[in-house]
């Protein structure tokens, strides 16, 4: 099953490689990983999307907790949560496709953030599956380039990951 694991770790050099190294050394699956400092500059927040059986996920969480720099680990998927990913897509937008592209972006609540003679760059935010759906809705040949951030997640309501 797909799990979104959030963690807070000391914002020190090498933190990312400790986590990435753990996943590769123990053969854990890693779908995406995002990291950035938090409002407290001494802490980094990482969101890891992974897949595995319950036993494997349990081990992943224990192993992450075992890293000396890791302060807190939370499996967001265990409770109610929100997940968002940002995607930038450069699409062919010429001739009769130009209007169609604008319409597609509107339907998916995307925004056109760069306009050129022959292309649009569309910004789209949502769950991973929404971004997938947008790409599927487009003609393959119209997609020139995509870049995705990987998922970030946060718990709903008073489910808070903080030190």
Partner 1 sequence: MELTGAEIVVNCLAEEGVEFVFGYPGGAVLNIYDAIFKQNKFKHVLVRHEQAAVHAADAFSRASGKVGVALVTSGPGVTNAVTGIATAYMDSIPVVIISGQVPTPAIGLDAFQEVDAVGVTRPCVKHNFLVKDVKDLAATIKKAFHIAATGRPGPVLVDVPKDVTAHRTEFIYPDSVAMRSYNPVLKGHAGQVKKAAQMLLEARRPMIYTGGGVILGNASEQVTELAKLLHFPCTNTLMGLGGYPATDRQFLGMPGMHGTYEANMAMQHSDVLLAVGARFDDRVIGNPAHFAREQRRIIHIDVDPSSISKRVKVDVPIVGDVKQVLEELLKLLKASKEKPDESALNTWWTQIELWRSRNCLKYNRESDIIKPQYVVEKLWEATKGDAFVTSDVGQHQMWAAQFYKFDKPRRWINSGGLGTMGVGLPYAMGVQLAHPDAQVACVTGESSIQMCIQELSTCKQYRLPVKIVNLNNRYMGMVRQWQEFFYGSRYAESYMDSLPDFVKLAESYGHVGMKIEKPSDVEPALKEAFSPALKERLVFMDFITDQTENVYPMVEGGKGLSEMILAEEL
Residues in touch with partner 1 (CB under 8 A): 9-10, 13-14, 17-18, 21, 25, 55, 58-59, 62-63, 65-66, 68-71, 163
Q: Which is nearer to partner 1, 75 or 132 (CB)?
A: 75
Q: Which is nearer to partner 1, 18 or 92 (CB)?
A: 18
Please give the span between the terminal C-alpha atoms of the chain, in angstroms, as a whole number. Answer: 28
Residue 67: CB minimum distance to partner 1, A? 8
Residue 7: CB minimum distance to partner 1, A? 10
Q: Which is nearer to partner 1, 40 or 99 (CB)?
A: 40
Residue 50: CB minimum distance to partner 1, A? 16
Contacts of 73 (CB under 8 A, 6+ apart): 5, 6, 7, 61, 64, 65
Q: CA distances (Å), 24 to each of 2, 18, 79, 88, in order? A: 18, 10, 27, 28
Contacts of 67 (CB under 8 A, 6+ apart): 9, 18, 19, 22
Residue 26: CB minimum distance to partner 1, A? 10
Q: How far apart are CA 77 and CA 2, in angstroms?
A: 8
Q: Which is nearer to partner 1, 24 or 141 (CB)?
A: 24
Q: Token digits for 96? A: 């009769």
Q: Could you give the 3-state DSSP secondary structure of residue 56?
A: helix
Q: Which is nearer to partner 1, 25 or 158 (CB)?
A: 25
Residue 58: CB minimum distance to partner 1, A? 7
């Amino acid at each position: 099953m797909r799990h979104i694991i959030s963690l807070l770790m000391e914002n020190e050099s090498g933190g990312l490689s400790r986590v990435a190294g753990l996943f590769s050394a123990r053969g854990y699956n890693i779908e995406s990983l995002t990291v950035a400092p938090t409002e407290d500059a001494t802490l980094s927040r990482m969101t890891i999307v992974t897949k595995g059986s319950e036993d494997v996920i349990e081990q992943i969480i224990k192993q992450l907790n075992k890293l000396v720099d890791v302060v807190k680990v939370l499996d967001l998927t265990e409770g109610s949560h929100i997940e968002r990913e940002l995607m930038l897509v450069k699409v062919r937008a010429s001739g009769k496709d130009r209007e169609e592209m604008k319409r597609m972006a509107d339907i998916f609540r995307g925004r056109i953030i760069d306009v050129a003679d022959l292309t649009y760059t569309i910004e789209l935010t949502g769950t991973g599956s929404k971004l997938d759906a947008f790409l599927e809705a487009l003609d393959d040949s119209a997609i020139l380039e995509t870049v995705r951030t990987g998922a970030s997640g946060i718990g709903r309501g008073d489910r808070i990951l903080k030190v």
